[in-house]
Amino acid sequence: MVDRPNKPSAISPTTMSPQPTVTIADDNSTVTAKLPSGEEVTVLLHGATVLSWKAAGGQELLWLSEGAVLDGSKPVRGGIPLVFPVFGPPPKNHATSSLPQHGFARSSRWEYLGKSSTEAQSTTSDNSIKLDFGLYSTALSAEARKAWPYDFGLVYSVTLSKEGLQTMVTVQNEGKEAFEFQVLLHTYFRVKDISKTTVTGLAGLPFIDKVANATQGNPAPTVTFSGEVDRVYTNIPQSTTSILDADGKPYIDVVRDNLSDTVVWNPWTEKAKGMGDFQPKDGFKHMVCVEAGAVEGWTKLEAGETWEGGMLAKSHL
């Protein structure tokens, strides 16, 4: 036998680390993704509403009302409802004026388009998984189609990673005429104690105070909570708004991407009592909405154009 001086080395089998998993509920109502490190997200196809986002240790980071309706008969109270194409009650004499409050995206059944994920080798742990959901004008109810008769396509991408949860909205004008829209990620974050929670990153910025009849509020270094808060901060120069939890330490950073506005909301005692699906009634003590959006004025999209915006919520747990 000839002895070759440069023998090929033995081939070692490639070792792959565990990969992200996706589970679709038996009744096809939800899609759940989980990373090997333990992070998890669940999305309800009704409204493409994110119902749950858990940190690696299993801690729930979103607040979902115990009275939330999940059967598709009404929008979900809690999680991350998607507001489109109008924020709040529609204005009179506008193309959205016949739509319900907050539009139709959160009330429509979305299509699950599939997943894509990184394939981490044994030397890395950069696993992430992206779930895509679609809503198209042809799938709207006859009532919604009549109220807003534009041809459009929406793709909502929910990406779970060790860094956090990214939610991105892509709007495509598939018609022959321009339309205007607003969009908001109406995110309910779970907190330990709202009376000891602060929101930073909005220092010195003017805001529309909806508790005070939509008048201009007085800027403050931080947002604190001792009663109902409903504020719309617009044209924010910095990209990050942070939540400090009861211990005063950073809890969650909300990083906006092509979204210039932020809504901060907590209903407090009386408003919570008046919402039938807000349960328990003292649940306001453990939630705060910090909502990234484009809600000041309107975004105009010409025929054939595409717009994209969203946020990354980064947990410090």
**Residue 108 Ramachandran class (φ > 0 left, ψ -120 to 50 alpha, else beta):** beta
Q: Report whether CATH 3.40.50.150 matches the domain 21-315.
A: no
User: Which residues does residue 216 pair with via DSSP β-bridges, in sequence order?
Assistant: 208
Q: Residue 121 — very low, low, confident or very high, per pLDDT cuts 50/70/90?
A: very low
How confident is the model at residue 117, as a pLDDT?
A: 84
Residue 34 Cα to chain centre, angstroms? 17
Question: What is the distance, to the nearest Å, from the Cα of residue 78 to the centroid of all Cα atoms in its chain?
Answer: 11
pLDDT above 80: residue 177: yes
19 in a known ligand binding site: no
User: 286 an active-site residue?
Assistant: no
| CA 86/CA 80 separation, integer angstroms | 16
Q: Per-residue pLDDT for 302 more than 50?
A: yes
Element of type H or E holding 273: helix 268-273
Closest CA to 54 of 22, 32, 31: 32
Predicted local confidence at residue 1, as pLDDT: 43
Task: Look at residue 3 and tell me whether its pLDDT is greater than 80.
Answer: no
Express the helix, strand and coil content of the chain in percent, nearest 5 each. 10, 45, 50
| Surface-to-core class of residue 58, CB atoms within 10 Å of its CB (0-12 exposed, 13-18 middle, 19+ buried) | exposed
Q: CA geometry: angle at 191 spanning 213 and 131, to 5°?
A: 95
Cis bond upstream, residue 85 (ω within 30): yes
Per DSSP, what are the bridge partners of residue 199? 223, 243
Report the share of the chain in percent with pLDDT over 70: 92
pTM for the model stands at 0.93
Beta strands (DSSP E) in 174-281 are 179-185, 188-190, 198-200, 207-209, 215-217, 229-233, 240-244, 250-257, 261-266
Helix (H, G, I), strand (E, B) or coil at 223: strand
Mean per-residue pLDDT, 179-193: 98
pLDDT of residue 118: 72
Instruction: Say if residue 101 carries a ligand binding annotation.
Output: yes
Q: What is the mean pLDDT of the chain?
A: 93
Q: Is the dihedral of CA 184, 235, 310, 232 positive or negative?
A: negative
Lowest mean pLDDT among 81-85, 145-149, 218-222, 298-302: 218-222
Catalytic residue among 46, 111, 291, 302: 291
The predicted-structure confidence for 129-168, as pLDDT tens digits, reads as follows 999 999 999 999 999 999 999 999 999 999 999 999 999 9
The answer to whether the bond into 280 is cis (omega within 30° of 0) is yes
Task: Return the exposure string of 262-289: e unless at least 16 CB atoms fall within 10 Å of the residue's CB, then b.
Answer: bbbbbbbeebbeeeeebeeeebbbbbbb
Residue 102 among the catalytic residues: no
Closest by CA position to 272, among listed 47, 77, 72:
77
Helices H / strands E in the chain, number of each: 2, 20
Where in the chain are the domains?
Answer: 21-315
The residues, ordered by sequence, that sit 6+ positions from 309 with a Cβ below 8 Å of its Cβ are 168, 169, 183, 256, 257, 258, 259, 294
pLDDT at residue 96 tops 50 = yes
Strand partners, 306: 172
Percent of the chain having pLDDT more than 90?
A: 89
Q: In this model, does residue 120 exceed pLDDT 70?
A: no
Strands 30-34 and 188-190 turn out to be unpaired
Residue 116 has pLDDT above 90, yes or no: yes
pLDDT of residue 226: 97
CB 133 within 8 A of CB 108: no
Per-residue pLDDT tens over the stretch 9-27: 555 555 567 999 999 999 9
Span 45-80, pLDDT tens digits = 999 999 999 999 999 999 999 999 999 999 999 999
Q: What's residue 246's pLDDT?
A: 86
